[in-house]
Amino acid sequence: MGKVYVFDHPLIQHKLTYIRDKNTGTKEFRELVEEVATLMAFEITRDLPLEEVEIETPVSKAKAKVIAGKKLGVIPILRAGMGMVDGILKLIPAAKVGHIGLYRDPETLKPVEYYVKLPTDVEERDFIIVDPMLATGGSAIEAINALKKRGAKSIKFMCLIAAPEGVEAVKNAHPDVDIYIAALDEKLNDHGYIVPGLGDAGDRLFGTK
Ligand code: PRP
Ligand code: URA
């Protein structure tokens, strides 16, 4: 069964409080989402393999460690996942970025796929799918399906806020995928919104509605 990691670092929790606040405007919301994504990327890359290289400091020769050429891919689920990409690329700028376009039908709450563009070497990459919200889990499950269908072997899912229902659904559908979240909220409401959540992530990021 996939593992669930809650990154409850004080900086992440602090910033998340302002992300949730309905009085936080679009500019600040966007900046905070990016910052939390950077902090989460720091944690999620903890297991990257290292290799030893020889360098010369101003004082002497030294053996030191660098990241061993791991091929990473960041996949935002459009639209709201876009808000997390730059924050992650700040720490891992060599990662390739693919896109999966899904929207949740407001009536059925089922995800509808409208765009997929991935790096060419899908089978060799370790992927991190990013989306601020994991609600019913439908979008995450569909995005993971889309990646697996094209040959992906290694996938992590990272979001800011998750509902227990969504976490269970992803764990059941994709037991090989670990889930990384900043907060596990209480429940979903009748419209499939996370309670207390932050509202509609895409609308708050892009100032639409
Ligand atoms: C939101 C969110 C997730 C999805 C989560 O996207 O960004 O992708 O809903 O809900 P689920 O877990 O029940 O599938 P939305 O469909 O509103 O599209 P948008 O990002 O384009 O606004
Ligand atoms: N999508 C959002 O943007 N917010 C929610 O609470 C649920 C789905």
Q: Which atom of ligand 2 is nearest to the CA of 132?
A: 3
C-alpha separations of 187 from 14, 73, 135, 136 in Å: 21, 30, 9, 10
CATH number of the domain at 116, please: 3.40.50.2020
For residue 18, what are the domain limits? 4-206
Q: How many domains, in total, are found in the chain?
A: 1
Residue 102: enclosing H or E segment and its boundaries?
Answer: strand 99-104
Cβ atoms of residues 203 and 209 within 8 Å: yes
Cβ atoms of residues 132 and 83 within 8 Å: yes
Per-residue pLDDT tens over the stretch 90-125? 999 999 999 999 988 888 988 999 999 999 999 999
Question: In the annotation, is 108 catalytic?
Answer: yes
Per-residue pLDDT tens over the stretch 7-41? 989 999 999 999 999 999 999 999 999 999 999 99
Whether residue 19 has its Cβ less than 6 Å from ligand 2: no
ipTM over 0.85: yes
Q: Which atom of ligand 1 is nearest to the CA of 137?
A: 12
Residue found by looking up tokens 């924050």 in the block? 87
Question: In the annotation, is 104 catalytic?
Answer: yes
Question: In the annotation, is 8 catalytic?
Answer: no
Nearest alpha carbon to residue 143 among 133, 156, 129, 153:
129
Pocket test for ligand 2, best of 133, 184, 191, 205 (most atoms within 8 A of CB): 133
Per-residue pLDDT tens over the stretch 146-166? 999 999 999 999 999 999 999
